[in-house]
Amino acid sequence: MSFITRFAPSPTGPLHLGHAYSALLALHQARLSGGRFLLRIEDIDRARSRARWEAQIYDDLAWLGISWETPVMRQSDNMPAYNSALRALWSQGLLYACQCNRRDILAAASAPQEGAPLTGPDGVIYPGTCRDLPRDPGVEMPKDKALRLDLRAAAEVFSGPLSYVETGRPGPPQTVTADIAALQQSAGDVVVARRDMGTSYHLSVVIDDAAQQISDVVRGEDLAEATMIHVLLQHLLGLPVPRYHHHRLIRDEAGRRLAKRDDARAIATYREAGATPQDIRCMVGL
Ligand code: GLU
């Protein structure tokens, strides 16, 4: 399998040192393997994505000495693909509409008999309130409600273990496995289409990794807890499972992981202060 990887930032704020590390590592691995490095702009969150941040991404990456293939894939162009995947899942009875808001979910998950609410990759694990409402897959897929993946129904159509190869740990590649029952505990029925977006990170990322023929996903270890959801979606949609390299996170002096709001760690801020691309590589330990 030839090596194809990608860097997939969301244009919702400035790139920081953590993004620089992720992009440089992915590019480095592509070069080592004589493979390809692609860029994808993950702009499904139309309310938070901005053209100026997308422009800044291109500018910062070029300044770091990173080049990528064009045209760049933008998720906002791929809505028809997401929609047809949702319809396929809906028609198999694998999705259900959910009208709960955050407050409803927290209240149901914190009910006295439930103990402290458990959290997964998307926050509080959904307690399943809307799962047992009557549904008919023959009915048109609603567009005005969030759609959740029904893990119980998924277990009926996919019985095999879920697994992927992790290449980001010391030593040889490791196979990570789980089953859907474990996923019910660790993630629950995640949202695959948000009401305001018509898709979600989980759905879009698996469709686009397959569309770009990504063989090796290189991304931060904060996303590792979502990976089994991605593997399940890949099976349900008949998509290949890439290898995953979850890398360490770049943290601030207090040990906190960097976030978009950390303007002080933005690459642009270092650039303005006179840092060189080599300084950035040193700062992230490359
Ligand atoms: N768009 C995601 C982010 O900016 C990255 C997703 C991924 O690499 O899978 O955090």
| pLDDT tens track for 68-124 | 999 999 999 999 999 999 999 999 999 999 999 999 999 888 887 777 889 999 999
**What Rg, from alpha-carbon coordinates, does the chain have?**
20
Residue 214: what pLDDT? 98
Cα distances (angstroms) measured from residue 179 to each of 99, 107, 152, 182: 27, 28, 12, 5
Residue 64: what pLDDT? 98
Q: Ligand 1 pocket test: which of 218, 223, 247 has the largest number of ligand atoms within 8 Å of its C-beta? A: 223
> What's the CA-to-centroid distance between 241 and ligand 1, angstroms?
17
CA 102, 107, 108, 110 torsion: positive or negative?
Answer: positive
Q: Which residues pair with 148 in a beta bridge?
A: 96, 191
Residue 280: what pLDDT? 96
Tokens describing residue 123? 């926050």
Task: Spell 215-252 as b/e; 16+ CB within 10 A means b.
Answer: bbbbbbeeebebbbbbbbbbbbbebebbbbbbbeebee
Asked if pLDDT for residue 10 goes beyond 80, the answer is yes
Q: Is 193 helix (H, G, I), strand (E, B) or coil?
A: strand
Amino acid at 152: R
This prediction has a pTM of 0.95
Amino acid at 216: D
Q: Which atom of ligand 1 is nearest to the CA of 209?
A: 9
Task: Summarize the confidence of residues 31-46 as an average pLDDT.
Answer: 97
For the stretch 219-273, pLDDT in tens is 999 999 999 999 999 999 999 999 999 999 998 888 888 877 777 789 999 999 9
Residue tagged 């040990």 (tokens): 255
Please give the domain boundaries of the chain with CATH numbers for all domains: 4-284 (3.40.50.620)
Query: Per the omega criterion (within 30 degrees of 0), is the bond before 80 cis?
Result: no
> What's the CA-to-centroid distance between 6 and ligand 1, angstroms?
10
List the alpha helices (DSSP H) in 194-244: 201-211, 227-237
Asked if pLDDT for residue 1 goes beyond 70, the answer is no
Q: Ligand 1 pocket test: which of 219, 222, 231 has the largest number of ligand atoms within 8 Å of its C-beta? A: 219
Asked if pLDDT for residue 62 goes beyond 70, the answer is yes
Residues 6+ apart with CB under 8 A from 205: 8, 42, 230
> What's the CA-to-centroid distance between 100 and ligand 1, angstroms?
26
For ligand 1, atom 2, the nearest C-alpha belongs to 9
- Report the 3 state secondary structure along the chain: CCCEEEECCCCCCCCEHHHHHHHHHHHHHHHHCCCEEEEEECCCCCCCCCHHHHHHHHHHHHHCCCCCCCCCEEHHHCHHHHHHHHHHHHHCCCEEEECCCHHHHHHHHCCHHHCCCCEECCEECCCCCCCCCCCCCCCCCCCCCEEEECHHHHHHHCCCCEEEEECCCCCCCEEEEECHHHHHHHCCCCEEECCCCCCCHHHHHHHHHHHCCCCEEEEEHHHHHHHHHHHHHHHHHCCCCCEEEEECCCECCCCCECCCCCHHHEHHHHHHCCCCHHHHHHHCCC
Residue 179: what pLDDT? 94
Residue 219: what pLDDT? 98
